[in-house]
Amino acid sequence: PTFASLNPSGKRVRPNEDALALIIGVADYERTPARAAYADKDAQYFNDYAAIKLGVPDKNIFTLLNQDADEVSIKKAVKNWLLRMSVKNETDVYVFFAGHGLASSDGTNMFLLPYDGDPELLEDSAIDRRQLFADIQAISPRSVTVFLDSCYSGGTRAGGTLVASLRPIAIRAKEQNVPDGFTILSAAKGDQTSQSLEKAKHGLFSYFLMRGLEGDADVNNDNQITAGELHSYVTDKVERQSGFKQTPDLQGDAKRVLVRFQ
Protein backbone atom coordinates (compact mmCIF):
# COMPACT_ATOMS: atom_id res chain seq x y z
CA PRO A 1 0.00 0.00 0.00
CA THR A 2 0.97 3.63 -0.50
CA PHE A 3 0.30 6.35 2.04
CA ALA A 4 -0.58 9.93 1.17
CA SER A 5 1.43 12.74 2.70
CA LEU A 6 -0.19 14.32 5.72
CA ASN A 7 -1.90 17.61 4.93
CA PRO A 8 -3.74 19.52 7.68
CA SER A 9 -5.12 22.11 5.25
CA GLY A 10 -8.54 21.57 3.73
CA LYS A 11 -11.59 21.63 5.96
CA ARG A 12 -11.31 24.43 8.48
CA VAL A 13 -12.60 24.71 12.02
CA ARG A 14 -13.60 27.71 14.08
CA PRO A 15 -10.74 28.95 16.31
CA ASN A 16 -11.07 28.13 20.00
CA GLU A 17 -9.48 30.97 21.96
CA ASP A 18 -9.95 28.97 25.17
CA ALA A 19 -7.80 26.04 23.97
CA LEU A 20 -4.20 25.21 24.90
CA ALA A 21 -1.96 22.52 23.40
CA LEU A 22 1.17 21.00 24.92
CA ILE A 23 3.03 18.93 22.31
CA ILE A 24 6.01 16.70 23.15
CA GLY A 25 8.08 14.55 20.81
CA VAL A 26 11.28 12.67 21.66
CA ALA A 27 12.99 10.48 19.07
CA ASP A 28 16.56 10.47 20.40
CA TYR A 29 17.26 9.94 24.09
CA GLU A 30 20.18 10.85 26.31
CA ARG A 31 20.27 7.69 28.41
CA THR A 32 19.08 4.95 26.06
CA PRO A 33 20.26 4.17 22.53
CA ALA A 34 16.77 2.95 21.62
CA ARG A 35 15.21 5.53 19.29
CA ALA A 36 11.50 6.33 19.06
CA ALA A 37 11.56 6.61 15.28
CA TYR A 38 9.83 9.72 13.88
CA ALA A 39 8.44 10.78 17.28
CA ASP A 40 9.88 14.28 16.92
CA LYS A 41 8.52 14.54 13.38
CA ASP A 42 5.09 13.41 14.57
CA ALA A 43 5.08 16.16 17.20
CA GLN A 44 6.15 18.79 14.67
CA TYR A 45 3.33 17.80 12.34
CA PHE A 46 0.80 17.68 15.17
CA ASN A 47 1.60 21.31 15.91
CA ASP A 48 -0.19 22.19 12.64
CA TYR A 49 -3.10 19.85 13.37
CA ALA A 50 -3.61 21.41 16.78
CA ALA A 51 -3.91 24.82 15.12
CA ILE A 52 -5.84 23.93 11.96
CA LYS A 53 -8.01 21.00 13.06
CA LEU A 54 -8.44 21.54 16.81
CA GLY A 55 -8.64 25.33 16.54
CA VAL A 56 -5.88 26.10 19.05
CA PRO A 57 -4.41 29.58 18.46
CA ASP A 58 -0.69 29.51 17.56
CA LYS A 59 0.15 31.57 20.65
CA ASN A 60 -1.49 28.87 22.79
CA ILE A 61 0.66 26.00 21.49
CA PHE A 62 3.82 24.95 23.35
CA THR A 63 6.04 22.36 21.65
CA LEU A 64 9.01 20.52 23.19
CA LEU A 65 11.23 18.34 20.99
CA ASN A 66 14.10 15.98 21.80
CA GLN A 67 16.67 17.58 24.14
CA ASP A 68 14.25 20.39 24.99
CA ALA A 69 11.78 17.81 26.32
CA ASP A 70 13.71 16.90 29.46
CA GLU A 71 11.99 16.03 32.73
CA VAL A 72 12.18 19.52 34.25
CA SER A 73 11.01 21.27 31.07
CA ILE A 74 7.97 19.01 30.74
CA LYS A 75 7.01 19.48 34.38
CA LYS A 76 7.48 23.26 34.13
CA ALA A 77 5.30 23.32 31.02
CA VAL A 78 2.51 21.59 32.92
CA LYS A 79 2.81 23.28 36.30
CA ASN A 80 3.79 26.78 35.12
CA TRP A 81 2.82 27.38 31.48
CA LEU A 82 -0.53 25.57 31.54
CA LEU A 83 -1.40 27.15 34.88
CA ARG A 84 -0.60 30.70 33.71
CA MET A 85 -2.33 30.30 30.34
CA SER A 86 -5.52 28.61 31.55
CA VAL A 87 -8.79 29.95 32.91
CA LYS A 88 -10.58 27.90 35.54
CA ASN A 89 -13.46 25.83 34.10
CA GLU A 90 -13.10 27.48 30.66
CA THR A 91 -9.92 26.09 29.10
CA ASP A 92 -9.78 23.05 26.82
CA VAL A 93 -6.38 21.39 27.16
CA TYR A 94 -4.83 19.15 24.50
CA VAL A 95 -1.70 17.10 25.17
CA PHE A 96 0.20 15.15 22.51
CA PHE A 97 3.13 12.91 23.46
CA ALA A 98 5.20 10.82 21.06
CA GLY A 99 8.13 8.88 22.45
CA HIS A 100 8.97 6.01 24.76
CA GLY A 101 6.79 4.89 27.62
CA LEU A 102 7.36 2.12 30.14
CA ALA A 103 5.39 0.51 32.96
CA SER A 104 6.77 -0.44 36.34
CA SER A 105 7.81 -4.09 36.64
CA ASP A 106 4.47 -5.01 38.25
CA GLY A 107 2.53 -3.08 35.60
CA THR A 108 0.71 -0.84 38.08
CA ASN A 109 2.40 2.47 37.22
CA MET A 110 2.92 3.93 33.75
CA PHE A 111 5.64 6.39 32.84
CA LEU A 112 6.43 8.64 29.87
CA LEU A 113 10.15 8.90 29.22
CA PRO A 114 11.52 12.44 28.84
CA TYR A 115 14.72 13.12 26.89
CA ASP A 116 16.89 12.63 29.99
CA GLY A 117 14.89 9.76 31.46
CA ASP A 118 16.54 6.47 32.38
CA PRO A 119 14.47 3.32 31.66
CA GLU A 120 16.08 1.59 34.65
CA LEU A 121 15.26 4.43 37.09
CA LEU A 122 11.72 5.27 36.09
CA GLU A 123 10.45 6.64 39.40
CA ASP A 124 13.45 8.95 39.67
CA SER A 125 13.72 10.21 36.10
CA ALA A 126 10.47 9.69 34.16
CA ILE A 127 7.05 11.34 34.06
CA ASP A 128 4.49 9.40 36.09
CA ARG A 129 1.35 9.33 33.96
CA ARG A 130 -1.01 9.37 36.93
CA GLN A 131 0.81 12.38 38.43
CA LEU A 132 0.84 14.16 35.07
CA PHE A 133 -2.93 13.86 34.84
CA ALA A 134 -3.33 15.01 38.44
CA ASP A 135 -1.20 18.10 37.77
CA ILE A 136 -3.30 18.97 34.71
CA GLN A 137 -6.53 18.34 36.61
CA ALA A 138 -5.31 20.71 39.34
CA ILE A 139 -5.56 23.72 36.98
CA SER A 140 -9.33 23.02 36.69
CA PRO A 141 -9.68 22.94 32.90
CA ARG A 142 -13.05 22.52 31.20
CA SER A 143 -11.82 19.46 29.31
CA VAL A 144 -8.60 17.53 28.70
CA THR A 145 -7.80 15.49 25.60
CA VAL A 146 -4.61 13.43 25.56
CA PHE A 147 -3.05 11.69 22.55
CA LEU A 148 -0.29 9.23 23.48
CA ASP A 149 1.84 7.64 20.77
CA SER A 150 3.77 5.53 23.23
CA CYS A 151 3.49 2.12 24.81
CA TYR A 152 4.39 0.67 28.20
CA SER A 153 5.52 -2.85 27.29
CA GLY A 154 9.21 -1.97 27.01
CA GLY A 155 9.19 -2.42 23.25
CA THR A 156 10.33 0.21 20.75
CA ARG A 157 8.99 1.35 17.37
CA ALA A 158 11.95 -0.38 15.70
CA GLY A 159 11.24 -3.73 17.37
CA GLY A 160 13.89 -3.59 20.11
CA THR A 161 13.52 -3.13 23.86
CA LEU A 162 14.25 -0.22 26.20
CA VAL A 163 15.80 -2.46 28.87
CA ALA A 164 17.96 -5.37 27.71
CA SER A 165 16.82 -7.62 30.57
CA LEU A 166 13.24 -7.50 29.28
CA ARG A 167 13.98 -9.81 26.36
CA PRO A 168 11.91 -11.70 25.43
CA ILE A 169 9.25 -10.90 28.04
CA ALA A 170 7.14 -7.76 27.71
CA ILE A 171 5.63 -5.89 30.64
CA ARG A 172 1.83 -5.77 30.73
CA ALA A 173 0.63 -2.39 31.93
CA LYS A 174 -2.59 -2.45 33.93
CA GLU A 175 -5.32 -0.06 32.89
CA GLN A 176 -5.65 2.99 35.11
CA ASN A 177 -8.77 5.01 35.79
CA VAL A 178 -8.73 8.47 34.24
CA PRO A 179 -9.92 11.69 35.89
CA ASP A 180 -13.33 13.17 35.13
CA GLY A 181 -13.33 15.31 32.02
CA PHE A 182 -10.34 13.51 30.48
CA THR A 183 -10.44 11.79 27.09
CA ILE A 184 -7.35 9.69 26.36
CA LEU A 185 -6.54 8.11 23.01
CA SER A 186 -3.52 5.81 23.29
CA ALA A 187 -1.52 4.06 20.59
CA ALA A 188 -1.65 0.52 21.97
CA LYS A 189 -3.02 -1.83 24.59
CA GLY A 190 -1.03 -2.47 27.76
CA ASP A 191 1.17 -5.32 26.52
CA GLN A 192 1.62 -4.13 22.92
CA THR A 193 4.30 -2.05 21.20
CA SER A 194 3.64 1.24 19.44
CA GLN A 195 5.04 0.76 15.95
CA SER A 196 6.26 3.05 13.18
CA LEU A 197 4.87 3.20 9.65
CA GLU A 198 8.10 3.14 7.71
CA LYS A 199 6.60 3.88 4.29
CA ALA A 200 4.99 7.07 5.61
CA LYS A 201 7.97 8.01 7.85
CA HIS A 202 5.68 8.52 10.85
CA GLY A 203 4.53 6.63 13.91
CA LEU A 204 1.74 4.25 12.89
CA PHE A 205 -0.72 5.67 15.41
CA SER A 206 0.26 9.30 14.82
CA TYR A 207 -0.08 9.01 11.06
CA PHE A 208 -3.64 7.70 11.15
CA LEU A 209 -4.56 9.97 14.06
CA MET A 210 -3.72 12.96 11.91
CA ARG A 211 -5.34 11.48 8.82
CA GLY A 212 -8.48 11.01 10.88
CA LEU A 213 -8.39 14.63 12.05
CA GLU A 214 -8.13 15.76 8.42
CA GLY A 215 -11.69 14.50 8.04
CA ASP A 216 -11.28 10.81 7.21
CA ALA A 217 -12.74 9.87 10.61
CA ASP A 218 -16.02 11.71 9.86
CA VAL A 219 -17.65 8.58 8.49
CA ASN A 220 -21.24 9.87 8.80
CA ASN A 221 -20.36 13.18 7.10
CA ASP A 222 -21.95 15.36 9.79
CA ASN A 223 -18.97 17.76 9.75
CA GLN A 224 -17.77 16.77 13.19
CA ILE A 225 -15.54 14.09 14.66
CA THR A 226 -16.18 12.52 18.05
CA ALA A 227 -13.59 10.72 20.15
CA GLY A 228 -15.39 7.48 19.37
CA GLU A 229 -15.32 8.10 15.61
CA LEU A 230 -11.64 8.97 15.70
CA HIS A 231 -10.84 5.91 17.80
CA SER A 232 -12.80 3.61 15.46
CA TYR A 233 -11.06 5.00 12.39
CA VAL A 234 -7.58 4.85 13.89
CA THR A 235 -8.14 1.38 15.34
CA ASP A 236 -9.24 -0.08 12.00
CA LYS A 237 -6.23 1.37 10.16
CA VAL A 238 -3.63 0.62 12.84
CA GLU A 239 -4.78 -2.95 13.40
CA ARG A 240 -4.67 -3.74 9.68
CA GLN A 241 -1.25 -2.19 9.08
CA SER A 242 0.24 -3.86 12.17
CA GLY A 243 -1.22 -7.28 11.38
CA PHE A 244 -3.46 -6.92 14.44
CA LYS A 245 -0.45 -6.58 16.73
CA GLN A 246 -1.34 -3.04 17.81
CA THR A 247 -4.77 -1.87 18.96
CA PRO A 248 -5.32 1.78 19.99
CA ASP A 249 -7.23 2.39 23.22
CA LEU A 250 -9.81 4.99 24.20
CA GLN A 251 -10.68 6.06 27.74
CA GLY A 252 -13.23 8.74 28.50
CA ASP A 253 -16.33 10.02 26.74
CA ALA A 254 -16.58 8.48 23.26
CA LYS A 255 -19.34 10.96 22.36
CA ARG A 256 -17.19 14.02 23.03
CA VAL A 257 -16.82 16.14 19.89
CA LEU A 258 -13.15 16.85 19.12
CA VAL A 259 -13.47 18.54 15.73
CA ARG A 260 -16.25 20.73 14.31
CA PHE A 261 -15.72 21.68 10.68
CA GLN A 262 -17.13 24.98 9.44
Mind listing the pLDDT tens digit for each residue in 179-220? 899 999 999 987 788 899 999 999 999 999 999 999 999 999
**pLDDT for residue 174:** 53
**Residue 87, pLDDT above cutoff 90:** yes
Q: In terms of DSSP H, where are the helices of the chain? A: 39-52, 71-76, 83-85, 122-125, 129-137, 204-211, 227-241
pTM: 0.93
Taking a C-beta distance cutoff of 8 angstroms, is the pair 17, 55 a contact?
no
- DSSP one-letter string for 20-46: EEEEEE-SS-SS-S---TTHHHHHHHH
Q: Tell me the backbone φ, ψ of residue 3, rounded to 5 degrees.
A: -130, 125
Instruction: Calculate mean pLDDT across residues 94-98.
Output: 98
* Interacting residues of 120 by C-beta distance below 8 A, sequence separation 6+: 163
